Amino acid sequence: MEESDYVSESTRAAAFRLKWDVFLSFRGEGTGNNFTDLLYDSLFSNEIRVFRDNDGMNWGDEISPSSLEAMEDSAAVVAVISPNYASSQRCLEELARICELRKLLLPVFFQVDPSDVRRQKGPFKEAIEGLEAKCGVEKVKRWRNAMERTGGISGCVYNS
């Protein structure tokens, strides 16, 4: 067995130890759930184990324990970054946690410019600035760092 065979075998074995292939992070109001539903259905129909927390979802500040567990137990994260994403403390906290866990992050920039995400400009500017007074500079700094990192990743830009 060659070294490259061993690496791919160990990668596959690690993926099977995890409960989820993909954790889906999104702001329902930002995508009207239509895009996210289509993405979820497509992943699911291709036998990809995808976690989407929307059963009895409350868009409050707290991430549910099941979401935290699913993040840790996922091989990758697809973050659908929409214009309203930064208006949700929960979404920003998810994104920061995902970055801290160093998960494979696959961003979908849904009707937003990745550079606006990276620099917190455009639709993100007002939301982020408003959260600094409400949540504190240190917490928002974590969120800003996560958005900067995410905006710097080559992802899928969806403008339709």
Tokens of 136: 């504190």
Per the document, the length of the chain is 160
Tokens of 33: 């759930």
**Of 94, 100, 132, 138, catalytic:** 94
* Active site (annotated) includes residue 94: yes
Distance CA 83, CA 74 (A): 25
Burial class for 149, CB neighbours closer than 10 Å (0-12, 13-18, 19+): middle
Return phi, psi of residue 51, to 5°. Answer: -100, 125
Residues marked as catalytic: 94
